[in-house]
């Protein structure tokens, strides 16, 4: 089968298409012929061993992914496709089923086929969605869902989502609405109407206004793009407020510190815990019209380097999809 592989850490150019052995499902696994996948922030960070996060973060990344070279040569952590083989113990899925899901840090989705455990983060694809749309659901939505569950969101709670037009941000706006919170979304000028259409009660154009200086306060601030800090946001939090980052080693330290001192907390869970139940919730929200995937650009698998370069501009809206022609 064809797959996008990399054998050393570095820039997007190290990615290449190669013929590799097709995986064989274990007794509790299904073999999925992938129709579509995505390029995510996690793919980019893992490929470069989190170099942009600094020496300590890069070392931790290499301890997980491989000290000298990557142990998993194929990136990609979300997908949609068709089941083409099932293990002997599988009962939930059958050959021919259309599925979507996330492999997480097992990766492997930038390929024509991959195996997933029946009990893993995989579900039947909503009939209303194309493969490309379904492939663009899980990464941002699972990340946002995990963060927002720590925030006790409910009717009357005010949340600000910074970076509301990215993969995690567009998911966060929709999920915050599902939890009936009052949502203020921060994004750039071109995406104001999109974010409103996803359910934001108010939008702030960060090119025109700094939300940390407008006098408004919130119960929760969700940094969906990892570009803010607790220090800058603290004054915009109400008493007992929560700051939810999506990355940054310093936030792990702050989470430990603020859990003991002060009335404003940083909550940062490492590693994040995503479950099959979470994917099934997203499926229900899609089927009831309360969630949709936002896609910025689509590329064929062969253009993975170009797609990755675009993701690394940090200017994408929603998700970047790779279409895969299975063999």
Read off the pLDDT of residues 245-263 as tens digits, 9 standing for 90 and up.
Answer: 988 767 777 777 777 788 8
Looking at the domain assignment, is residue 286 inside a domain? no
Looking at the domain assignment, is residue 103 inside a domain? yes
Looking at the domain assignment, is residue 91 inside a domain? yes
pLDDT, tens digit, for every residue of 70-94?
999 999 999 999 999 999 999 999 9
**Are 234 and 172 members of one domain?**
yes
Looking at the domain assignment, is residue 205 inside a domain? yes
Domain harbouring 58, CATH code:
3.90.180.10
**In Å, how far are 46, 106, 117, 309, 317 from 40, measured between CA atoms?**
10, 14, 22, 11, 12
Determine the Cα–Cα distance for residues 110 and 275; give it in Å rounded to an integer.
21
Determine the Cα–Cα distance for residues 10 and 12; give it in Å rounded to an integer.
7
**Are 167 and 253 members of one domain?**
yes
Looking at the domain assignment, is residue 278 inside a domain? no
**Are 6 and 132 members of one domain?**
yes
pTM exceeds 0.75, yes or no: yes
Domain harbouring 261, CATH code:
3.40.50.720
Cα angle for residues 314, 319, 322 (degrees, 5° grid): 110
**Are 12 and 133 members of one domain?**
yes
The interaxial angle of helices 138-148 and 167-178, nearest 10 deg, is 50
Determine the Cα–Cα distance for residues 154 and 170; give it in Å rounded to an integer.
19
Q: Can you give the residue range of the structural domain that contains 114?
A: 2-137+293-323
**Are 114 and 158 members of one domain?**
no
**Are 74 and 167 members of one domain?**
no
**Between 59 and 117, the higher pLDDT residue:** 117
Looking at the domain assignment, is residue 284 inside a domain? no
Buried/exposed 184-218: b ≥16 CB within 10 Å, e otherwise: bbbbbeebbebbeebbbeebbeeeeeebbeeeeeb
Beta strands at 113-117 and 78-86: parallel, antiparallel or unpaired: unpaired
Q: What is the structure's pLDDT at 7?
A: 96
Return the C-alpha torsion angle 280, 283, 287, 292, nearest 10: 150
Determine the Cα–Cα distance for residues 178 and 3; give it in Å rounded to an integer.
37
């Amino acid at each position: 089968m064809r797959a996008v592989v990399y054998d050393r850490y570095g820039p997007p150019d190290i990615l290449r298409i190669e013929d590799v052995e097709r995986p064989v499902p274990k007794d509790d696994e299904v073999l999925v012929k992938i129709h579509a996948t995505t390029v995510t922030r996690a793919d980019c960070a893992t490929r470069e061993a989190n170099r942009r996060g600094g020496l300590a973060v890069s070392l931790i990344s290499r301890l997980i992914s491989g000290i000298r070279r990557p142990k998993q040569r194929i990136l990609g952590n979300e997908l949609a496709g068709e089941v083409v083989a099932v293990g002997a113990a599988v009962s939930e899925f059958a050959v021919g089923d259309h599925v979507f899901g996330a492999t997480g840090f097992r990766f492997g989705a930038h390929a024509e086929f991959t195996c997933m455990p029946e009990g893993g983060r995989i579900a039947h694809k909503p009939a209303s969605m194309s493969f490309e749309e379904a492939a663009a659901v899980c990464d941002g939505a699972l990340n946002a869902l995990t963060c927002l569950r720590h925030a006790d969101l409910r009717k009357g709670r005010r949340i600000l989502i910074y970076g509301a037009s990215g993969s995690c941000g567009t998911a966060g706006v929709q999920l915050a609405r599902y939890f009936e919170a009052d949502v203020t979304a921060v994004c750039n000028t071109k995406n104001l109407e999109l974010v409103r259409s996803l359910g934001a009660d108010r939008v702030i154009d960060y090119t025109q206004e700094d939300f940390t200086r407008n006098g408004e306060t919130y119960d929760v601030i969700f940094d969906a793009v990892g570009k803010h800090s607790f220090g800058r946001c603290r004054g915009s939090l109400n008493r007992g407020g929560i700051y939810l980052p999506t990355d940054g080693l310093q936030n792990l330290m702050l989470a430990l510190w603020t859990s003991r001192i002060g009335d404003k907390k940083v909550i940062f869970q490492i590693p994040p815990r995503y479950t099959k139940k979470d994917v099934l919730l997203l499926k229900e929200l899609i089927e009831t019209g309360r969630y949709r995937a936002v896609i910025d650009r689509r590329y064929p698998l062969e253009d993975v380097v170009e797609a990755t370069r675009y993701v690394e501009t940090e200017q994408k809206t929603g998700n970047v999809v790779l279409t895969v022609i299975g063999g």
